[in-house]
Chain A
Amino acid sequence: MALKPNPPTARPPFQPALWVVCCAVLVIAIPMQLLADAGFCPAVFNPYYLHVLTIIGMNIILVASLNLLNGYLGEFALGHAGFMAVGAYTAAVLATRLLPASSALPPVIGQVFILVVTLGGAMLLSALVGYVIGRLTFKTVGDYLAIITLGFNMIIVNAIQNMDFLGGPRGFTGIPKNTNFIAVTVCALLTIVVLRNLIQSSFGRVWVSIRENTIAAELMGVNLLRTKNLAFTIAAAFAGLAGGLWAQSQQFITPRSFDYIKTTEILVMLYLGGMASLSGSILGVVAYTVLMEVLRNLLSAFAPELAEWRMLISPLILIVIMLTRQYGLMGHKEWRWLRPKRVA
């Protein structure tokens, strides 16, 4: 018998707040990109801000999907950047090798078509890789799982480094810029909505039950290996989505951008925001990225000779935040629009 703790209703109840937030974000995001494309008033809102916002969007996808594993499932996975690499390279190959004729399509439809194909491919392949790796690794738990996933991250990076048709260690150049801020925003919103619904579904409850008490969950009939691997595969697919967006926004990728240092960066943002909280994932990414960029601007405006101290000041601020808020900014808490509606 599968565990279905207190299933509320067959369909999640309609929550206006979620849709209001999503629509509001899109209403702000779309004109921003269109104005920037038209070169309108670059002094008030310049492409640099848009660039930072785009990075925030991609990082939200990465951190929220890792939260599924590290926060909700309670496992410590350290290979997220590896799946991102799979997605990035898949999207890069699809965009440059298989879709060169798509430029003949009408502008907006063509762009959407390319994005759907490249990102779909990226998600599929990284999900597949995630599934295979998950099958192999979920026989272990705890620290061992962390080390094994870290090992797979290294294997993926080194494998790409030795594939000449992917540019090898020299990196993959000449990827068209198919991604813009609108695409990233839509993908980030989709990720949040999908993850939120998953977490509130019976799947999500099973994941949380595994985190809280593995033995009890197993006793209730949960197939541990399969359930954990489902979460792992979903997380890998979203990491692949972020990678696909990344490749087509940066236009240049190199295997070493996806090594364990990138995984660590994702982890820092995750823990800053707080575990088992999608609000925390969003807030952590925004806080970290904005902190780094604000420091860059402040230093270059007021103390240009201290530019290299940025990497010393920002970890210090992070440490202070973590000492005062031990569960991260939003650990185990959720903003109202992401919270499940209580069914009486």
Chain B
Amino acid sequence: MLILVACKPRGAEIKIGVSAPLTGDISALGQSTKNAILLAQDEVNAEGIKVGDKTMKVRFIIEDDENKPESTATVFQKLISQDRVVAIIGSQSSKCSNAGAPIAEAAMVPQVSPWSTNPNVTKGRTFVFRACFIDSFQGKVVAQFATEKLKARTAAVLYDIASDYNKGIAEVFRDEFTKTGGTIVGFETYNTKDTDFSAQLTKIKGAKPDVLFLPNYFNDVPLQVQQARKLGISAAVLGSDSWDNPQLIKLGGDVMNGASFSNHYTPDSENPASKAFIAKYQARFRMLPDAAAALTYDSVYLVCKAIATAGKADPKAIRDAIAATKGFQGVSGVITYAGNGDPQKGAVVIKIVNGKFVFDSAVNP
């Protein structure tokens, strides 16, 4: 039976593969990925895509990669050789996208990762794209925000050394902040699942930094800020897009007020596309979309637009059309590709005011 399924010719519908962490340690993110895909699929199919002179429908094949690199490789291989998809959206975490990319590249099927910010994912590859900015850009955004907006001269960083994401951003921030004339007075580390940061924070307190940068996940950050304030550190607190979760406020409470972080998009933006997306998402799934949902939604439209532009559902033509994308107005911002798989795209800085995420400023590259 499986063989028969595999032999079916490419029919009236266009198949696009999705590799998402539906189970595993970030399954909440997999769920919002799936929601965004389902929402976009219905919208796209309401009108269909104009491919050449016919109107075609798209079908998304969503596979679970368990947030494991080896499963992602299997999923990619299945989507490409069994389902014969014309493009793949995914995966979300960088380690998984990195495991799928060699397969997509070898099979010459375009891959668009919504959320993988690790620079290695697209490096040296022609068929791999991402819809988000890379870690280094975020480090730059926060450094720029600290020096220009907060007029900070000294900064301290506390980050999780066991996670590639945190480490990457912390290092770029250090380099960028020093480049603009600032001084890093503390560069402290901890390990995933640590809950007592008093040793590192006491050291940081002695250095008296103007800002404290915490590029860590939303479940760790509230503890760190609470302990810092208890020790008497009054520095302004900064963070990165890993803060983007309602849990941050639930766990942290008042202590989080006044802190700022960089993000891909903001729910209270004035962009009409974002507003429409948020309204539709909230009506259907009864929750606010996170950045991963917004980026997945953008990835779907990026691929569908490319199919329409290419005029045929052929992986190579779609790849060329994605690479030539200029000024694509997405939910998470304007996407332009210039020569490689990393978009030129702005970031936003969000400030926490009275327990709410409030748009502070936009930073463009």
Contact = CB atoms under 8 A, between A and B. Distances in A.
B320 interface: no
Contact of A301 (B5, B23, B74): B5
Given A51-B73, A311-B66, A43 B167 contact: no
Interface string B56-80: 0000011110101110011001101
Interface stretch (B156-164, B227-235, B281-289, B331-339): B156-164
B70 A257 contact: yes
Interface of B: 2-3, 5-7, 22-23, 27, 30, 61-64, 66, 68-70, 73-74, 77-78, 80-83, 94-95, 98-99, 101-102, 106, 118, 120, 123-124, 161-164, 167-168
Given A168-B164, A296-B78, A44 B7 contact: yes
A271 to B, nearest CB: 20
A312 to B, nearest CB: 9
A256 B95 contact: yes
Contact of A311 (B2, B23, B74): B23
Interface in A35-74: 42-44, 46-48, 51-52, 55
For chain B, what secondary structure do more than half of its interface residues adopt (helix, strand, loop), or is it mixed? helix
A32 B257 CA distance: 62
Contacts of B118: 170
A197 interface: no
A300 interface: yes
Interface stretch (A198-206, A223-231, A247-255): A247-255
Contact of A173 (B2, B6, B120, B161): B120
A169 B162 contact: yes
A46 B5 contact: no
A250 B82 contact: no
A46 B82 contact: yes
Given A48-B77, A48-B82, A300-B62, 13 more contacts: A47-B81, A48-B80, A171-B120, A252-B69, A254-B69, A257-B70, A293-B74, A297-B78, A300-B63, A304-B62, A307-B22, A307-B64, A311-B23
Interface residues of A, number: 38
Given A51-B74, A293-B74, A252 B98 contact: yes
A162 interface: yes
B69 A296 contact: no
Contacts of A333: none
A201 to B, nearest CB: 34
Contacts of B124: 174
Contacts of B2: 294, 297
Contacts of B102: 177, 251-252
Interface in A127-180: 158, 161-162, 168-171, 173-174, 177
B25 to A, nearest CB: 10
8 contacts: A46-B82, A47-B77, A48-B78, A170-B120, A251-B102, A252-B95, A296-B78, A308-B23
Nearest to B123: A173
A196 interface: no
B120 A308 contact: no
Contact of A158 (B30, B95, B162): B162
Per CB-CB distance, the 5 closest pairs between chain A and chain B, nearest first, are A308-B22, A46-B81, A169-B164, A170-B164, A51-B77
Contacts of A161: 161-162
Contacts of B80: 47-48
Interface string A304-319: 1001101100000000
B6 A43 contact: yes
B116 to A, nearest CB: 12
